[in-house]
Amino acid sequence: NAGVMQNPRHLVRRRGQEARLRCSPMKGHSHVYWYRQLPEEGLKFMVYLQKENIIDESGMPKERFSAEFPKEGPSILRIQQVVRGDSAAYFCASSPPSRGNDYGYTFGSGTRLTVV
Amino acid sequence: AQSVTQLGSHVSVSEGALVLLRCNYSSSVPPYLFWYVQYPNQGLQLLLKYTTGATLVKGINGFEAEFKKSETSFHLTKPSAHMSDAAEYFCAVSPLSGGYNKLIFGAGTRLAVHP
């Protein structure tokens, strides 16, 4: 019973390149959340998705960032034209379709993005 | 707007000593409350949560926390620290019940345990 799987674990990109972060939720979980952790800070909510729908993207930067959760396959967080300030740990979490909020999320191990 | 304050970004205790990590929240309605632990270069692991019912909540690894509505607090304690408890601890609130929600995290408290 695999947990939330994120890949890659570490990603290095040069300024201006694109970063693609992948998240496969736990089996039976249809809700996915992305959080960002900047150095020495707590996690900040970015986006909440269900299959084929973005429910809440209030934490996403307005430009260069996008997220999707297709009918088949993992959820993808995409960062275009990365800048040094995008260097952070990006965590994905998943929850079941009902009352997921009551039980807390299950987090993946994160993708640590370094922009050089 | 909801917020979470963790007093003390760094806490250091001796092995065997009491661990007390403080968390205060602001919320217009009683929220759900969580403590997570993060070991270096790893994801977050749920330690314990308060949703409804008994205000003293027991979690994994000997940790417990007490929800005090009058003090808007949810402090995390462990009677006797172990070296393996050294990690970063995050308090989080979830403002609503019954549906999806975004967790609002505190800035974290890094716990050091020395011999």
- The tens digit of pLDDT for each residue in B8-42 reads 999 999 999 999 999 999 877 767 899 999 998 78
Contacts of A99 (CB under 8 A, 6+ apart): B98
Q: What is the pLDDT of residue B102?
A: 79
Q: Residue B46 above 50 pLDDT?
A: yes
Give the count of Cβ contacts less than 8 A between chain A and B. 65
Contact A91 B102 (CB under 8 A): no
List the one residue out of A44, A70, A113, A49 whose CA is nearest residue B103.
A44
User: Between residues A98 and B5, which one has the greater pLDDT?
Assistant: B5
Q: Residue B98 above 50 pLDDT?
A: no
Please provide the average confidence, as pLDDT, over all residues in chain B. 90
Q: What is the dihedral of CA A37, B41, B10, B61, to 10 degrees?
A: 110
Q: How confident is the model at residue B54 (pLDDT cuts 50, 70, 90)?
A: confident
B59 touches chain A (CB under 8 A): no
Considering only alpha carbons, which residue of chain B is nearest residue A96? B100
Give per-residue pLDDT as tens, A37-75: 988 788 999 999 998 899 999 999 999 999 999 999 999
Residues of B in contact with A101 (CB under 8 A): 32, 94, 96-101
Vertex B60: Cα angle to B54 and B63 (nearest 5): 70
Closest by Cβ to A104, choosing from B4, B34, B42 = B34
Contact B101 A59 (CB under 8 A): no
